[in-house]
Chain A
């Protein structure tokens, strides 16, 4: 069976005050059925924009090129109405701040039933039953009562659960979660991660989990892609990428991360800061910060090619086993 989502050569340019800025610069990835696919990268790496582009959620004027085959249909070429139907029913989205996706003035139950009635054509009673079911599924205590409450009456963690319930309302096959735990405490974050992990197993759901936190991705992602300056620099299975990173950037990110099990080792920071969108370096975008860079890195942008158990975009490949 083919992948659920197959994105290839995705390029996104957004209009700015002075011409266009390339935010996503030729990105390939696939999301298999029932897997959690992790997208890692620092802010400005294009990880969020690459997802929004698929659903036509970019600001007007954005130029999107490439293809994104979802279940055999190219999302980038669907007419706007069809795309809305697909994205409303088959794709659910969860954002960092649940308040952006929840309506502040509508009761939780209303928000859940509205989607279900519109996209699945359920009558009021069945929709209400479905709403309770969904709230149970995301472990909201007292789902019957919660239906009549409003988003602001819940804590951040509970709100995120409700946002997930709304995203799941129509039984999507793909859930895109963009930094769903970044605004939450670790104790609450753990709950959301466990929830996502259970949901994908119970519902045969594919999840795209976007996060800057490799720890978060390490806990539930099956495979992951590391984004840097609008490109994928390394992708592969979680164990491979995180235990034996091959790209200097992946390696550096891991070194910069505080490790719960590490001793008193100091953190190894990456020198410099990520390039801003307008001023990307020539060649490999990471070369100015890379301790392994050689002459070719400054000239040619390395393509993302299959290497051993993963795909890698690096001329040097300094950590080859």
Chain B
């Protein structure tokens, strides 16, 4: 009765890779990935690669970069290179941790707001408005000031500042995907709203949240360093990039003390931004669809 129709010959694998390839071909994506990976390795293997103990005050202070101290030494005679390498052990894991926390809290609140709508939605959205009303660094400063200085409180403060972005995005996606025809159709087929949320809505959001989180890693590193720079985060003698830059500013004539940790922040932030951008190109359904349309 009904004649079968031929299926297109292309397999999924080929097609998917085709959609991803342009992203990886971008040199920026490769640069970002390479730098990010380098910092990750540095953080993991800091004790092995660092030439000296980052806290040992064993050397003459204020030494310019040389063969024995590639990045020079600081005002207490500590090796700057080792301190920069060890600094990644604070910045990277904490950035990852706080972005994970912000993502989790924001996504859950956003999903709840988008799912239940009404009063809950209003409450969540007004609190995001409240957070958005202040510049991130100011709010984070206020929160640490209230909680007390220290890295742990700095992380909490940044989570407080960072979650609303996720809540907003996830709420918007839950609302728009929730109204999409495929969700309506699955609801008519007997799925409860909760099942549709788990099966159809959240999986379609995950990619975009991941992109946002990657882009946010750079922000998190910056904010964390910023708080430490202001003396609210890492406390001496911890080797933390932001506080090292802060010290460096007091000794302008010894440029290496502030410049190298500054470069560390710069490269790490840049790397995660590049990475996030290319992930967005690869994951964003819109750009992915567009890449597909161009081929048909």
Bound pair (A, B): yes
Query: CB within 8 A of B295: which of A271, A273, A278?
Result: A278
Q: Tell me the nearest residue of chain B to A279, going by C-beta.
A: B9
Residues in B with CB closer than 8 Å to A18 are: 18
Query: Looking at A17, A271, A276, A279, which has the most chain B CB atoms within 10 Å of its CB?
Result: A17
> Is B22 touching A44 in the complex (CB atoms < 8 A)?
no
- Is A16 interfacial (CB 8 A cutoff)? yes
Q: Tell me the nearest residue of chain B to A16, going by C-beta.
A: B295
> Is A277 touching B295 in the complex (CB atoms < 8 A)?
yes
- Is B6 interfacial (CB 8 A cutoff)? yes
Alpha-carbon gap, A277 to B9, bound state (A):
12
Q: Tell me the nearest residue of chain A to B291, going by C-beta.
A: A17
> Is B22 touching A271 in the complex (CB atoms < 8 A)?
no
Interface size class on chain A is: 10 to 19
> Is B21 touching A271 in the complex (CB atoms < 8 A)?
no
- Is A4 interfacial (CB 8 A cutoff)? no
- Is B12 interfacial (CB 8 A cutoff)? no
Query: CB within 8 A of A21: which of B10, B19, B295?
Result: B295
* 25 examples of A-B residue contacts, CB within 8 angstroms: A14-B294, A16-B295, A17-B18, A17-B19, A17-B21, A17-B22, A17-B291, A17-B294, A17-B295, A18-B18, A21-B295, A44-B296, A271-B5, A272-B5, A272-B6, A273-B5, A273-B6, A276-B296, A277-B295, A277-B296, A278-B10, A278-B295, A279-B8, A279-B10, A288-B6
For the A-B complex with A16-B294, A17-B291, A277-B295 known, give 9 more contacts whose Cβ atoms are closer than 8 Å: A16-B295, A17-B19, A17-B21, A17-B294, A277-B296, A278-B10, A278-B295, A279-B9, A288-B6
Q: Quick one: CB contact mask for B1-37 with A, threshold 8 Å, 1 for yes?
A: 0010110111000000011011000000000000000
Q: Which 8 A-B pairs have the closest CB atoms?
A: A16-B295, A17-B18, A272-B6, A271-B3, A272-B5, A279-B9, A276-B8, A276-B296
Q: Quick one: CB contact mask for B77-120 with A, threshold 8 Å, 1 for yes?
A: 00000000000000000000000000000000000000000000
Q: Tell me the nearest residue of chain A to B18, going by C-beta.
A: A17
Alpha-carbon gap, A243 to B106, bound state (A):
65
Q: A residues 262-314 with Cβ under 8 Å of B?
A: 271-273, 276-279, 288
Closest beta carbon of chain B to A304's beta carbon, Å: 25
Q: A residues 33-57 with Cβ under 8 Å of B?
A: 44
Closest beta carbon of chain A to B63's beta carbon, Å: 53
Residues in A with CB closer than 8 Å to B19 are: 17
Alpha-carbon gap, A271 to B4, bound state (A):
8
Residues in A with CB closer than 8 Å to B21 are: 17
Q: Quick one: CB contact mask for A14-31 with B, threshold 8 Å, 1 for yes?
A: 101110010000000000
Alpha-carbon gap, A17 to B292, bound state (A):
9
Residues in A with CB closer than 8 Å to B295 are: 16-17, 21, 277-278
Residues in A with CB closer than 8 Å to B3 are: 271
Closest beta carbon of chain A to B83's beta carbon, Å: 46
Q: Tell me the nearest residue of chain A to B17, going by C-beta.
A: A17
Residues in B with CB closer than 8 Å to A272 are: 5-6
Residues in B with CB closer than 8 Å to A17 are: 18-19, 21-22, 291, 294-295
Closest beta carbon of chain B to A41's beta carbon, Å: 15
Q: Quick one: CB contact mask for B270-296 with A, threshold 8 Å, 1 for yes?
A: 000000000000000000000100111
Closest beta carbon of chain A to B80's beta carbon, Å: 46
Closest beta carbon of chain A to B278's beta carbon, Å: 16
Alpha-carbon gap, A204 to B296, bound state (A):
37
Q: Tell me the nearest residue of chain B to A289, going by C-beta.
A: B6
Alpha-carbon gap, A4 to B22, bound state (A):
42
Alpha-carbon gap, A21 to B293, bound state (A):
13
